[in-house]
Amino acid sequence: MTVNIRHRGRRWSEDFPKNSYELLDLADKLRNDYPFSVKIEKMFELDYVYNEFQINSFEDLVRLNLFAERFSEMYEEDEAIMFALMTKYPKAEISELLEMTYGLSSVTAYPCCNDEELTELAFNNEWLTEFEDCPYEVLEYLNTDKVAAEVHRQREGYMYGSFYVEPDGYISPEKEIELPKPETGFFRLLLAADRENRVPDRASSEWLTLPCSKADLEVFEKRLGCPMNKMICITARSALPMLHPVTVQRSEIPVLNGLALKLSELNRDEVVKLKAVMELEDVKSIGQTAQLIPRLSEYEFDPLSMDASIYGKAYLFNNLPIGFDTEIFASVDMEEFGRSILSAKGGEMTSYGAVSGRSQSLFTPISKGPDEDETEEIEDDESEDEEEGLEACLT
């Protein structure tokens, strides 16, 4: 399912459903700023259902994700009912759409592929008054196009795939929907015992959330019936988009756990800043991430700058003389200016806000950055930093 997001003048598309880490990351990119509008697109084979509604809180974002998850698991019959309901109720809110997925059994979907089958269905059920007490032999002489059109007009039904649905019978379920809670930790590994020749025992696989204490690791090992160094990682999830391994080698699990312990010492704002700086510095390894954490204070981060134009105006407001009429910039697009200032400071506009280069400030006048010798020294030390970062995760 594709969801088109309109937030503070920006528009972009996101695919749903997402795992919990991805959903939290989207909330960070949105600066947890509500409400905003979304429009559902590319949900059905018939691509003219465009339900638009407001997301008023993080809970609504979770509802949207759960709705997409439940829809992705539907068979064609339920999908046809959902299509009819969303077509009939285009202004339904996300809470109502989610409720619909629990009340589909109140609506009947009739197997029906074309006008001929719909005509026979209407005839057999006497859906039109003209068919009452009508002999069956008449059926073969009916104009199926006109009958089908009349059925649609009178009964407000919808054809979708191999089904015909009349959504008028829908009854909203009297049910309190429990929303899933966000996943904890920073990494989740789906682990299985290595039974033979590096073939995982998928039937007994379990998720392990990091960080994890030594005692909890021992309990996990007993449950799977093998030590950690004999386990295989089937898939991995990360709360840090730049550090997103598809899988993890068994030797990396203790290192990743050490990094997760360091991350758990950060507050939420610091985690968002870390993600922004990782994007700036193109950090994609465990060791580099561990080395970056103690250096976060050397970068300046502004999550309120939603784009380069906003940053450019904020930079001018902080540097123009007192009393200068800043209203003249109110309607001016300053994206190019903002990006040039950030570039001069060694920073950039990230998905989470504006980030300065190392040892630079976002809103002070431009100063000279590191000289060439210092830059070369930093580049030469990258491999050494990686090794030090890996060692730091294990201490």
Q: What is the DSSP string of 296-333?
A: GGGS-EETT--SHHHHHHHHHHHHSPTT--GGGGTT--
Q: In the chain, which residues have pLDDT < 50? A: 371-380
Q: In Å, what is the CA distance from 384 to each residue of 70, 277, 380, 387?
A: 47, 20, 8, 5
Domain ranges of the chain: 2-106, 109-165, 187-265, 279-385
From CA 141, how far away is CA 157, in angstroms rounded?
23
What's residue 199's pLDDT? 78
What's residue 372's pLDDT? 45
Q: Give the pair of three-digit tokens for residue 78.
A: 């339920």
pTM of the predicted protein model:
0.88
What's residue 375's pLDDT? 42
From CA 91, how far away is CA 191, in angstroms rounded?
43
377 sits in the region (left: phi over 0; alpha: psi -120 to 50; else beta) called alpha
Whether 318 contacts 242, CB under 8 Å: no
Q: Length of the chain, please?
A: 395
Whether 64 contacts 16, CB under 8 Å: yes
Sort 225 into a burial class: Cβ within 10 Å, 0-12 / 13-18 / 19+. exposed
Q: For tokens 């069956």, name the residue.
A: 136
Q: Give the pair of three-digit tokens for residue 205.
A: 């696989």
Q: Which amino acid, one-letter code, is at 354?
A: A
From CA 129, how far away is CA 132, in angstroms rounded?
6
Q: For tokens 């008023």, name the residue.
A: 56
- Cα 256 to chain centroid, rounded: 23
From CA 129, how far away is CA 122, in angstroms rounded?
10
Whether 193 contacts 226, CB under 8 Å: yes
Closest CA to 296 of 356, 206, 239, 336: 356
Whether 236 contacts 187, CB under 8 Å: yes
3-state secondary structure of 237: strand
Instruction: Tell me the pLDDT of the chain averaged across its residues.
Output: 89
From CA 115, how far away is CA 125, in angstroms rounded?
15
Closest CA to 265 of 294, 295, 302: 294
- Going by C-beta distance under 8 Å and a sequence separation of 6 or more, which residues neighbour residue 205? 190, 191, 192, 234
What's residue 331's pLDDT? 79
